[in-house]
Amino acid sequence: MAGDEYGTVDSGPDYNKRTTILYIVAGIIVIAALWWMFSSMDYVAQAPRSEWAYEMVQLEDANAEGYTGQDVRLAIIDTGIDPDHPSLEDANIVEWMDLVNGRTAPYDDDGHGTAMASIIAGNDPIKGGAQDVDLIIVKVLDDMGESTDSMVADGIMFCLDPNGDGEYSDRADVISMSLGGHMSYIGAIIGTETKAAVEMAASYGVLMVAAAGNDGESDDGDVASPGWFPDVICVGAVDEDGTIGGFSSRGRNIFKVDPNKKAEVVAPGVGVISAWKNERYVTASGTSQATAFVSACLAAMLSAVPELKHTGPSGGTDDVVVLVKTKLMETSMPQAGQDTPHDNYYGYGLIQTMDLIDALKAEV
């Protein structure tokens, strides 16, 4: 894929890059994005799309059927977005909130959020898997990839009520969170603000997707939070051959039951080309990228099965979350060497968008 031509963002410890780590101290969560910072960024006039990645999760097939995320509200909680990037200048940003610096216009002082947005909603040359979604962009990570538990919780709550009028008819259908970190035993027992926000969003039928983490050889034994929470779809990363990335965190699954065992699914996350801020393109690896792919798959699914959107006749309750997670468990494709029915690295397998659509259509 000639990664050096486009610039490289390495997102796992195998690449020996600087990392920021989410941790919990005295009940306060410091949240860091799950990627290793770039070593070089080269401007290029164009960059090819990682076609293999969209094909292996059946997004190409879904798009060919006309399922492109139309009329789906998808939120990205991250570092922001560069709306002037050539791949994102036509993206439909319907809501914006900056919980870091309070700026009123969309921007991205890091680049990570722009990369995730391009995988989901980009246009040429990086055409996203759900390019017609209505985007809700919430900046909770600063230019160092850091945040707080309360800020992430506030970000999720903003996605439930973007106009702040106290009723949630304008809420997101999907929330994509390519961030996370270690959940302490204390946090798991007494709860956190993010946990409360996740449970609130799930009660309104919002599908939440989060990164498993990039612990790799330094794995702490479980996936990252908020992907750790049962209501969230936690995502690991595989390469073009369907092999788990060396950095992708594994689940522990003590007391967890189907369909909530962690991780739930895997998606492309090794050597993926995406946009970056300031008209740049990069090759990146991490569970962040895999999270964006799963979010795009779910948006495509909802455009095919609009009954499950929050405005649909079968949407708006936590039954949607349970149904979608159950069908993900049943339709995801096991990969070579994976334990079945569930694997602590691969989850239930590689997400398959069209198979998920067909299974859900049969239910509504």
Annotated catalytic residue, options 82, 108, 110, 112: 112
Q: How far is it, in rounded angstroms, from Cα 36 to Cα 23?
A: 16
Strand-pair category, 179-180 with 207-211: unpaired
CB 10 within 8 A of CB 36: yes
Q: What share of the chain is helix, strand, coil (3-state, %, to 5)?
A: 30, 20, 50
Active site residue 314: no
Beta-carbon-side half-sphere exposure of residue 41 (alpha carbons within 13 Å): 15
Active site residue 342: no
> Which contiguous run of DSSP H or E holds residue 260?
none
Helix (H, G, I), strand (E, B) or coil at 328: helix
Q: What angle do CA 273, 33, 93 make, to 5 degrees?
A: 65
Helix (H, G, I), strand (E, B) or coil at 176: strand
Tokens of 314: 């079968």
Annotated catalytic residue, options 10, 78, 154, 222: 78
For the chain, the distance separating the N- and C-terminal CA atoms, rounded to the nearest angstrom, is 41
Tokens of 178: 């390519």
Tokens of 22: 């989410």
> Which contiguous run of DSSP H or E holds residue 181?
none
Annotated catalytic residue, options 11, 147, 225, 288: 288
Q: Which candidate, 33, 51, 23, places its Cα nearest to that of 291? A: 33
Q: How far is it, in rounded angstroms, from Cα 174 to Cα 310?
A: 10
Q: What is the CB neighbour count within 10 angstroms for residue 2? A: 8
Strand-pair category, 179-180 with 146-148: unpaired
- What is the residue-wise DSSP string for 209-258? EEE----GGG--SSPPBTTTSTTEEEEEEE-TTSPBPTT------TT--T
Active site residue 310: no
Strand partners, 90: none
Q: What's the Rg (C-alpha) of the chain?
A: 18
Residues designated catalytic? 78, 112, 288
